[in-house]
Every structure is written in C-alpha cells, then in structure tokens.
Amino acid sequence: MRAVCPLLKKVEGGYVCGAVDRSVNPEAWYCFMDYPSCPLYINYIRRQRGQVTQGVPQAQQTQAATTEVKPLVTVTQQAATAAASVSVSEPEDEVINRLRGILESMQGRVKDLDEAWRSYEGKATAAKGELDKNEHLVNQYLLSLEGIKANLEESIKELEYRREAGMIDESSYGKAREYVEKRLSSITQQLNEMREAYGRIQESILTHYRRILSEGTEAAKVKLSLAKLEELYRTGRVSKEVYERIKAQLTMMGG
C-alpha cells in the first residue's frame, strides 16, 4: 500500500497540495511516494515547527533544518523499479482467458451430451427388448378379447333367434340383451383403446431404437435381414403375410 502525503487534498478536477495551496500532479511529485522527502512538505513542516518552537535553542532548530531532501529523479527511479516488479496483464491475456472459458463451457456440454447419449442408447435398447419379450403375449391378450367380443355379438344373434322362436319371453329377452350389450360396449371400447395404445408404444419404441441403429453396425444387420427376407419370399419359403409383417418391422427399425 502506497504512503499518501497527509497534505494532499482531493478536489474537483484534481488534487491540491496543502503545503502551498496549489494544484499538483501527485503522480509526478512525491505525494504517492516518499512524501517526507518532498521539499514542499519539508518547508511546510519547518514553518509549523518554527511557529511552535520559537523558544527552542538555535542549535536544535539548525539540526531540524538539515533534513535531507532527496532528488525527485531518485524517487522516480525507485517507483519505476517497483512497477517493473509487478506482473502486468497484457491485452491478449484477457482474450485468451475469455476464449478458454467459452471452450471449457462448450466441452462440458459435449461431455453431458455423450453421457446422455449413452444413457439414451441403454434405455432405447432396454425398451426394445421389453417390446420383443411381450409382443407375443400382448397379441395373445388382444386376440382373446377379440374372441370374447365375437362371442358376445353371437350371443345377441342367438337371443334374437330365441325370441323369434318363442323360446324366451320379452322380459327375459330384454334383460339378457341389455346385459350382453353392456358387456359388448365395454369390451369394444377397452379393446380399441388398448390396441391404439399398444400401437403408439410400439411405434415410439421402434422410432427411438431406429435412431441408435443408425449410429451403429446394427443398421447394416437390418439391411442384410431385409435382403435375406426378400430371397426367402422369392423362393416361396415364407408366406406373403409373414413377409409383409417382418418387412414392415425391419423397415421401421432400419429407417
């Protein structure tokens, strides 16, 4: 911390030396350096002491007046030497620091993306595995519901036949038909909802799985499977129904 002359006064537009009541440039004088060696400061102190020590013996006053005054050039050289020892920030340092900060931030984003992609690959593969594992079971349940729906529709026809044949009265017919139609309406609605939900889930999983396939060697495997499927179909070793179903799945997977 630099020593500041106690006689230096900050005013609007600059500084004033209190020793002589005149404006002064503190950087070019002693104000911020070795102010006790400043001639103006020394003269001011002499005047102050002369007012206080008028009764002091002449020998002591002479000794006080012999305070050494250092040349300004010496103080300036000392200040220059001190400044040289301080590390100075160059203009390019600020640019380099800011550029480094931007690059480090972007590198962090890349790292986050790499980690997110690995996590995404794992989740997409797991979802595809669950889809494959449950596909047959889901289709079996849907077919079972379709069978129940068909039986209920046949039950309504049978009730109509029994009523026309006089095998049941109108009251029994009405109650039985109401019961069957209620079940049929419920199962039809839920069957449609679950079939649509399964279709959306299947499409979504295959879309995600197709994305990771496009980034790896699995895409080539899908193309090879399609080529083999085409050959099997041309030679009559698979039916058209099986061919179209498997081809649709492979096409969705391979994009």
Instruction: Convert the pLDDT of each residue in 136-167 to its tens digit.
Output: 999 999 999 999 999 999 999 999 999 999 89
The answer to whether position 204 is within a domain reads yes
- The closest alpha carbon to 16, from 31, 38, 3, belongs to 31
16 Ramachandran zone, left/alpha/beta (phi>0; psi -120 to 50): beta
The answer to whether position 26 is within a domain reads yes
pTM of the model: 0.47
The answer to whether position 98 is within a domain reads no
Say if residue 37 is in the same domain as residue 83.
yes
The answer to whether position 96 is within a domain reads no
Say if residue 164 is in the same domain as residue 202.
yes
- The closest alpha carbon to 149, from 175, 194, 180, 128, belongs to 180
Number of domains in the chain: 3
Average pLDDT, the chain: 81
**What was the pLDDT predicted at 119?**
93
Say if residue 199 is in the same domain as residue 224.
no
Listed residues 87, 109, 138: the one ending a domain: 87
Buried b (16+ CB within 10 A) or exposed e, 114-153: eeeeeeebeebeebbeebeeeeeeeeeeeeebeeebeebe
Tokens describing residue 130? 């669950």
| Residue whose pair of structure tokens reads 């095998």 in the numeric block | 167
Helices (H) and strands (E) in the chain, counts: 7, 3
The answer to whether position 80 is within a domain reads yes
Say if residue 233 is in the same domain as residue 199.
no
Say if residue 188 is in the same domain as residue 224.
no
- Print the domain residue range for 227: 216-255
Say if residue 149 is in the same domain as residue 168.
yes
- The closest alpha carbon to 132, from 205, 181, 66, belongs to 205
The answer to whether position 97 is within a domain reads no
Say if residue 209 is in the same domain as residue 221.
no
By percentage, how much of the chain surpasses pLDDT 70? Answer: 80
**What was the pLDDT predicted at 111?**
93
Say if residue 211 is in the same domain as residue 237.
no
Residue pLDDT, tens place only, 60-116: 544 544 444 444 444 445 544 444 444 455 657 778 888 999 999 999 999 999 999
**What was the pLDDT predicted at 58?**
53
**What was the pLDDT predicted at 155?**
94
State mean pLDDT over 1-29.
Answer: 81
- Nearest-angstrom CA–CA distance, 138 and 152: 21
Among 56-70, 168-182, 209-223, whose mean pLDDT is lowest?
56-70
Local confidence band at 124 (pLDDT 50, 70, 90 cut-offs): very high
Say if residue 204 is in the same domain as residue 241.
no
